Structure 1
Amino acid sequence: MTKAYAVGAKVSWSWGQGKATGKVADVFQKRVQRTIKGSKIVRRATADNPAYLVEQEDGGKALKSHSELEKA
């Protein structure tokens, strides 16, 4: 794993045929569950593959694993 992202870091991930971007709002190192836009999202985070709550500029939120993200 590359170095974990800190709160406030700008990250991106593949979305459809493009990319989505946002800032890390929270970091998790154990199982985490959030309801986002009415859908229950679960990530089984670990110290080696943390999960991140990411806030997008439009106010949207995403729960992503470290392996899904790259530095923006």
Structure 2
Amino acid sequence: MVSAGMDAKQLDVQGRRMKLTADAQRECRHLDAEIPVAEKQEKLVKQQALADVQAQLFRMRRSFRELGC
């Protein structure tokens, strides 16, 4: 089902995700919300915590790619 008001990028993402399982689609939506939060944390954390935040962000991005989001 195509939603009105979607731009080309959003339509591309929706089309690509239609092929995924319901669980994978749910995880993609979760990652859509979590990755920007982790990216903001990455910019704000002190140096000692930076490695932890970057590792978490790397895992999220890897999952995003592996799922085909």
Q: For the superposition of Structure 1 and Structure 2, which TM-score range results when normalised by the shorter chain? A: under 0.3
Could you say which structure has the higher strand fraction? 1
Bigger radius of gyration? 2
RCO higher in 1 or 2 (8 Å CA, sep ≥ 6)?
2
Question: Normalising to structure 2: TM-score of the pair?
Answer: 0.21
Could you say which structure has the higher helix fraction? 2
